[in-house]
C-alpha cells in the first residue's frame, strides 16, 4: 500500500486522553471462584464439561458454543468450547 496516496488522515485534535491509565479496570461481573475454569480441569463426560462452561459463561455474562468436535469413528475425542461471539 502506498501511504502517500491514502485518503486516511489522522486528526490528533479529537483524541480523548482522559481515560488513559495503567490501572486495571474493575471486572464487569464477579464470578464465584468455584465456577471459574482452572488449568488442568477434567470432566467425566462432554456433557459435564458443556454444562460447567455454560454455567460459568452465564455467571460471567456471556454465552458459549461448541466450535469443533474431533471424533474417531463414532466416539468423540475432543471438543472445543468457545465464546459464542468469538471472532466478532
Residue 13 lies in a domain: no
* Residue 28 included in any domain: no
55 found inside a domain:
yes
Instruction: Outline where the chain has alpha helix (H).
Output: 46-60
The per-residue pLDDT for range 14-26, each reduced to its tens digit, is 555 555 555 655 5
Kindly state whether residue 52 falls inside one of the protein's structural domains: yes
Cell reading at 35: 465456577
pLDDT of the residue at 6: 46
Residues ≥6 apart with Cβ < 8 Å to 81: 49, 50, 53, 64, 65, 66, 67
Cα-based distances in Å from 18 to 14, 25, 37? 12, 14, 35
Does 24 reside within a domain?
Answer: no
Span 20-45, pLDDT tens digits: 555 655 555 677 888 888 899 898 98
Residue 64 inside a domain? The answer is: yes
* Domain housing 56: 46-83
Number of folded domains that form the chain: 1
Residue range 46-82, pLDDT digits in tens: 889 989 989 999 888 889 998 999 999 998 888 888 8
Q: What is the mean pLDDT of the chain?
A: 77
Amino acid at each position: 500500500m502506498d501511504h502517500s496516496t491514502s485518503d486516511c488522515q489522522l486528526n490528533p485534535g479529537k483524541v480523548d486522553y482522559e481515560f488513559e491509565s495503567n490501572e486495571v479496570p474493575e471486572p464487569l461481573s464477579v464470578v464465584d471462584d468455584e465456577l471459574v475454569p482452572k488449568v488442568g480441569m477434567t470432566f467425566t463426560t462432554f456433557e459435564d464439561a458443556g454444562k460447567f462452561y455454560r454455567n460459568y459463561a452465564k455467571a460471567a455474562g456471556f454465552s458459549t458454543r461448541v466450535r469443533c468436535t474431533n471424533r474417531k469413528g463414532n466416539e468423540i475425542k475432543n471438543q472445543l468450547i468457545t465464546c459464542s461471539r468469538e471472532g466478532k
